[in-house]
Structure 1
Amino acid sequence: MASPRLDDPVEIGGVTLRNRLYRAPLLECAGSGPDAPGRLAAELEPAARAGAGLVCQGATIVRETGGCAAPGMTRVADPEFVASLEAVTETVHDHGAAIAIQLEHGGLRSMETWHAEYRREHPALRQLAVSRPPRLLRLLDRLGFLDYDARVMTTAEVYDLAADFGRAAAMATDAGYDIVHLAGANMGIIHQFLSPFYNHRDDEFGDGVRFLEVVANEIRARAGDVPLMTKVPAETAAPPGIRRHLTEDATVEICRRLDDAGYDALVPVSGSVFWDASIVRGSFPARAWDDERFRDGYAAAFGGPLRARLVELGNRLEAAWYDFDPAWNAALCRRVREVVSVPVLCEGGIRERGEMDRLLGDACDAVGMARPFYAEPELPARLLGRETERDVRVVCESCNNCAVPQVTGAGGVCRTPTVLSRAGRLKKQGEYVRTSENAGETKGDPEG
C-alpha cells in the first residue's frame, strides 16, 4: 500500500481532516477579555484560509483563577465567554478547516511560581500540585528563583479538576470546536501526573494515566463523543542525575493504555522534566534578550535585572545543550505508532515538504508545526499541492526570538529580519495564495 501524502485526508475520531498538515498549538496571547474572540480569529484564520487540515488553538486554562503558565492565556471557564468563541470556530470552518481547542492547567508551572510581578499582584494564589514539589525545585525556591506555596490536591480535588476539564470541553464543543486536545506535556498539570519526577502520590492517581482516564470519562459524559487527543511526554532529555523520569519505553506504554482508554489521536513529544529549551530546540535568541523594549518586562517577570540576566545565561546554556534536531520526535512517534490503533501526530522540528512525506505512513499519520506559523501565518499554501517540489522549506530559522518575549506578555510574532525578509519576498511572489492544486474544500464544516 502506498504511503499517504500530505494532501491526503485523515480521520480523527469521526472528523475528517482535508489533509494531514496542522497548525500545532501556539500561545496566541489573546487573553479572555471582550476582544479575545476577534484576536483569536485573526490569529487562526490565515492558517485555515491557506489550507491547513486542522488548526489548533493554543493552551487554554480550564479554571477561572490560577493555572496560567504564561501571560495572556485564554480561560474557558465562563460559559458566556466560551459561547462568544463561536466567532472563532465559524471563521475557521468558513475556510473548510477543522479546529481543536487545547485544554490545560499549569500546576507547578503556573505564573504564580515563576513570574515575580504576578506573584506580588496575586499573593493569595497557590499552585495546584500533584505531590510535594521535587527537591531540586524546592532548592530553587529557597534561592529565590521560584516561589512555591503548593497545594497538594486530595483525591476529591483531583476529581474536581478532571470535572473542570470536562466542563470546559463541553462548553467548547457547544461553541463549535471539532476536537478537544489536552496539553499533556511541557510540564503542565497532566505532564506532572504522568511523570515520576513529580508524581509521588499513594492514591489511585499515583498512576498518572488514571488522571487522563478520568478526564476522558468526564469529557465523554459532558461533551459526548467529541474527538479527544492529547500530547504525551517522554522525558528523554532529562538532565544527568535525574533518575526518576519518563523513559521512552514508559511513554510508549502510556500511549498504548490511552488508546485502550478511548483517546482518538496521540501526539508523543520528548523533552526534559523542566519547562526549558528542550521543547523549543534551536538557537539562542540573542536578539530577543537584547531588545530594549522587553528589558523592563524581563526584570518584572524574573525579579529584577540581575535575575533576568541569570535566566538569560541559563537560556544560553540550554540552547547549546538542546541544539536544533530535525523532526526530533519522529523516532518516538514511530515506536508509538507500532502499538496503537489511532492516528499518531508528529511535530517538533519538521521544516520541509519532503521530510513531511517521508514521515507520513512511517512515523506518523499527520504532521504539525508551531513556530514557523509566526513567520508565515499562511504557510500551508506553500506546502500543500507541492509533492513534486519536495525541497519546499519553511523560512523559520528556529532562532526562538519569537518565544522569549512572551514571558513579558508580548505577542508571538517573528522578530528576525532575515526571516521576515524572505517571507516578504515570497508574499510578493504570490506564494501564499492558494492555487487550484492545493485549495481543496473552501467552505463548510469538516465532515463528521
Structure 2
Amino acid sequence: MSTAFEPLDLSGTKLPHRIAMAPMTRSRSGAAGVPTALMAEYYAQRASAALIVTEGIQPSAVGQGYPDTPGLHSAEQVTGWRAVTSAVHAAGGRIFAQLMHAGRIGHPSLLPEGEVNVAPSAVAATGQVYTAEGPKDFVTPRELTDDEVRATLADYVTAARNAVDAGFDGVELHGANGYLIHQFLAPGSNRRTDGWGGSVEARIRFAAEVTEAVAAEIGAARTALRLSPGNAFNSIEEPEPEPEYTALAARIAPLGLAYLHLAEDGPARRALTLRLRELFGGPLMLNPADSPTGPEALALVEEGTADLVSYGQLFLANPDLPARLRAGGPFNEARRATMYGGGAEGYTDYPAL
C-alpha cells in the first residue's frame, strides 16, 4: 500500500510525493498571451507540488477561450514560459504544460480579427463567456473541415514541441470540461457523420490521434491526457459516457503515457474511474469531485484508487499545500473575487505556514 507522501516515478519524471497541483485558469498573461514575471513567481511559490499542471494554454490563436490566457504558439510566448519553468525548476519543482483548445467555448472578440470559434459541429454551447466588453453569449461555432481538423491536430503537436523548448517537463492534453477534445468525444457537441464522428470509434478518434501524435513528437513519457467522463460543464451532453472512454483508454494504453488525469463528475462515476484505471494501466492522477479539499482525499492513494491526487482551489490559496496536508492544516481560503485577472492580489499574496 502506497501513501500520498511516498515518491513516484512517472517514466523518468521523479516525484517526491503524490500531491499534484491541478490546472486552473487565472487570466493574468495579458492580451498577447505571454507569461509574465508575476506568473513565474506564482508557479515557483507552488514548486513543492509533486507536479504542477499549468493553467490551460492555447495551442493556437483561434484556440483561445477566455481573456488574458497564455499561449504556446509564438516565440514570445515560448520565451515567457521559459522564465516560468526556470523559476519552478530552481525551486525544486516539476511542471507540465496543459494544452487547451477551447473550441466553441469563447467568443470571436477574443480571437484574431476575422476568426470565429470552431468546433466538431455547428452547435452552440448554452451560456455566456466574459470578454473585455463584458459577458457575451456563446456563438454558434463553425464546423471544422477535415483538413482543418488535421491542421488543428498539428497545432497541438507544434505547441507540445514549443513546451519542451520552453523547458516544461511534459504536457497534459486537456480533453475535459467541455473544451475542443471533449467536444469531439461527446455526442451532443459532435454530430458529424464522417471519420471524426457518428460512432464511438469516430468520436474518440480526435482525442486518440492528438495523444498519439504528441507522444510521437515529444515522447510518451512526457505526454499526459486529462478527461472528465460525463461532466456536463460547458453544455456537454454525454449521458452514457462509458463506451467512448473505455474505448479511448484501451486505445492509448499501449503508448505508455506519463499519466491519465481524471476529473470525476461525482461519486457515481467511481466505478468508471476504476475501470479506466484498469484499462489504461499506467499512473492515474485523480481530481475527485466528492472530496476536492483537505486531507481526506489523500486516502484515494492509500486505497489504490489513484496514484496521485490533484488539488485546485486549495493549491491556489495555499502555496505550501503539501506541508499543510501533512500537518492537517490550517488552510487559507481562496478569494473568489480575485481568481481571474488582476495582479498580485489573490495570486501571489497567499501566505505560507
Q: Compute the TM-score of the two structures, normalised by the length of structure 2.
A: 0.83
**1:47 maps to which residue?**
46
Superimposed CA distance per residue, residues 105-154 of structure 1 (whole angstroms, 9 cap, x where no aligned partner): 11111233xxxxx37x96633111101206x749xxxxx96252522111
**1:60 maps to which residue?**
57
Distance 2:279 2:215 in 1: 24
The 5-angstrom pairing of residues 110-259 of structure 1 reads: 110-112=106-108, 118=109, 124-133=114-123, 137=126, 146-206=137-197, 207-235=202-230, 244-248=238-242, 250-259=244-253
Distance 1:252 1:89 in 2: 34
Residue 266 (1) aligns with residue 260 (2): yes
Distance 1:34 1:74 in 2: 4
What's the offset of the Cα at 1:248? 4.2
The answer to which of 358-367 and 197-206 deviates more is 358-367
| Equivalenced residues, count | 339
Query: Matched residues, percent identical?
Result: 25
The 5-angstrom pairing of residues 23-422 of structure 1 reads: 23-31=21-29, 33=32, 36-48=35-47, 51-63=48-60, 65-112=61-108, 118=109, 124-133=114-123, 137=126, 146-206=137-197, 207-235=202-230, 244-248=238-242, 250-271=244-265, 332-348=272-288, 349-383=291-325, 386=326, 392-393=328-329, 395=331, 400-401=336-337, 403=339, 406=340, 409-410=341-342
The answer to which of 125-134 and 253-262 deviates more is 253-262
What's the offset of the Cα at 1:29? 1.9
What's the offset of the Cα at 1:104? 1.0
**1:277 maps to which residue?**
none
Distance 1:371 1:70 in 2: 19
Q: 1:350 to 1:238 in 2, by over 3 A?
A: closer
What's the offset of the Cα at 1:34? 9.1
Distance 1:133 1:375 in 2: 36
Distance 2:299 2:181 in 1: 31
The runs of 5 or more residues in structure 1 that have no matched partner are: 113-117, 139-143, 272-324, 433-448
Superimposed CA distance per residue, residues 236-257 of structure 1 (whole angstroms, 9 cap, x where no aligned partner): 55899x9754524543443233
Distance 1:367 1:22 in 2: 6
Aligned with 1:267: secondary structure? strand
Across the aligned residues of Structure 1 and Structure 2, the Cα RMSD in angstroms comes to: 3.3
Greater RCO (CA < 8 Å, at least 6 residues apart) = 1
Distance 1:239 1:157 in 2: 23
The runs of 5 or more residues in structure 2 that have no matched partner are: 128-134
Distance 1:174 1:22 in 2: 23
Distance 2:40 2:237 in 1: 43
Please say if residues 24 and 347 of structure 1, whose CA atoms lie closer than 8 Å, have aligned partners that are also in contact: yes
What's the offset of the Cα at 1:364? 0.4
